[in-house]
Amino acid sequence: MPTMTYRQAVTEAIATEMRKDDSIVFFGEDVAKAGGVFKVTPGIYEEFGPLRVRDTPISEQAIIGAALGAAITGLRPVAELMFADFIPVAMDQIVNQVAKYRFMSGGQFTVPLTIRASQGAGGGFGTQHSQCAESWLMNFPGLKVVAPSTPADMYGLLRAAIRDDDPVIVLEHKSLYNLVGEVDLNAAPEALGTAEVIRRGEDITLVATQQMLHRALEAADKLAEEGIKPEVIDLRTLVPLDGATILRSVQRTSRLIIVEEAPRLGGWGASVAALVADEGLFYLDAPIKRVNMENALIAYSPVLEDEIIPNAQKIEKAVRQLLS
Amino acid sequence: MVKIRLAEEEIQNLFMANLVRGTTHLAIGQEACAAGVALALSKGDTVTCTYRGHGHALALGMSLRSLMAEMMGKESGACKGRGGSMHMTDKSIGLLGANAIVGAQLPIAMGAALTAQVKRAGAIAVTFFGDGAANIGLFHESMNMASVWKLPLLFICENNLYGEYSHIRETTPIDDIADRAAAYAMPGLIVDGQDVEAVYAATESAARRARNGEGPTLLELKTYRYGGHSRADTGPYRKPGELAQWQERDPIDILTARMFADGELDQEEFLEIKDAMAQEVFDAVEWAKAEPFPSLQSLDDFVYASGRRPCLR
Ligand SMILES: Cc1ncc(C[n+]2csc(CCOP(=O)(O)OP(=O)(O)O)c2C)c(N)n1
Ligand SMILES: [Mg+2]
A214 is a catalytic site residue: no
In chain B, which among 133-152 make CB contacts under 8 A with chain A?
A: 137-138, 141-142, 144-145, 148-149
Whole-angstrom distance, CA of residue B65 vs CA of residue A234: 50
Residue A188 lies in a domain: no
pLDDT of B313 > 80? The answer is no
CB of B164 sitting under 6 A from ligand 1: yes
User: Which residue from B50, B51, B4, B48 is spatially nearest to B23, judged by alpha carbons?
Assistant: B51
Domain housing A22? 3-182
Q: Where are the beta strands (DSSP E) in A16-167?
A: 24-28, 53-55, 76-83, 114-119, 144-146
| A25 lies in the same domain as A73 | yes
| A26 lies in the same domain as A172 | yes
Please answer yes or no on whether B144 and A104 come within 8 Å at the CB atom: no
pLDDT of amino acid A53? 98
Residue A317 lies in a domain: yes
Q: Where are the beta strands (DSSP E) in chain B?
A: 46-50, 95-99, 125-130, 153-159, 162-163, 166-167, 188-192, 217-222, 311-312
CB hemisphere CA count around B306 (13 angstroms):
22
Q: Which among A182, A208, A224 is the end of a domain?
A: A182
The band of B231, judged by pLDDT with boundaries at 50, 70 and 90, is confident
| A281 lies in the same domain as A218 | yes
Is the CA virtual torsion B87, B88, B92, B95 positive or negative? negative
CB of B228 sitting under 6 A from ligand 1: no
pLDDT of amino acid B308? 66
The angle subtended at Cα B113 by Cα B111 and Cα B119, nearest 5°, is: 105
| A178 lies in the same domain as A213 | no
| Residues from chain B contacting residue A93 (CB–CB below 8 Å) | 104, 107
| A178 lies in the same domain as A200 | no
The band of B114, judged by pLDDT with boundaries at 50, 70 and 90, is very high
Q: Which among A182, A213, A245 is the end of a domain?
A: A182
Instruction: Check residues B311 and B49 and name the one with the higher pLDDT.
Output: B49
User: Which residue from B298, B263, B247 is spatially nearest to B80, judged by alpha carbons?
Assistant: B298
pLDDT of amino acid B309? 75
Sheet holding A204-208, edge to edge: A196-199, A230-234, A204-208, A256-263, A289-293
Q: pLDDT tens, B243-274?
A: 999 999 999 999 999 999 999 999 999 999 99
Residue A191 lies in a domain: no
Residue A187 lies in a domain: no
For chain B, the structural domain boundaries read 2-288
| A173 lies in the same domain as A216 | no
| A34 lies in the same domain as A101 | yes
User: Which residue from B127, B125, B124, B111 is spatially nearest to B50, judged by alpha carbons?
Assistant: B127
Residue A190 lies in a domain: no
Q: Is the domain B2-288 a CATH 3.40.50.970 member?
A: yes
Q: What is the pTM of this model?
A: 0.97
Whole-angstrom distance, CA of residue A275 vs CA of residue A249: 13
| Structural domain count of chain A | 2
pLDDT of amino acid B307? 77
| A18 lies in the same domain as A69 | yes
Q: pLDDT tens, B277-286?
A: 999 999 999 9
Residue A247 lies in a domain: yes
CB of B163 sitting under 6 A from ligand 1: yes
With beta carbons less than 8 A apart as the criterion, state whether A233 and A198 touch.
yes
| A159 lies in the same domain as A226 | no
CATH number, residue A285: 3.40.50.920
Distance A269 CA to ligand 1 centre (A): 38
Whose atoms come closest to the Cα of B161: which ligand?
2
pLDDT of B13 > 80? The answer is yes
| Residues from chain B contacting residue A138 (CB–CB below 8 Å) | 310
pLDDT along chain A (324 residues), means of 10: 97 98 98 96 98 98 98 98 98 98 98 98 95 97 98 98 98 98 92 95 98 98 98 98 97 98 96 97 98 92 95 98 94
Distance from CA of A298 to the nearest CA of B (A): 29
Q: Decide if A274 touches B, using CB distance below 8 A.
A: no
Q: Which among A182, A206, A239 is the end of a domain?
A: A182
Residue A159 lies in a domain: yes
| Residues from chain A contacting residue B99 (CB–CB below 8 Å) | 97
| A261 lies in the same domain as A288 | yes
| A168 lies in the same domain as A210 | no
Please answer yes or no on whether B137 and A61 come within 8 Å at the CB atom: yes
CA distances to A9, A80, A220 from A51, in Å: 23, 16, 48
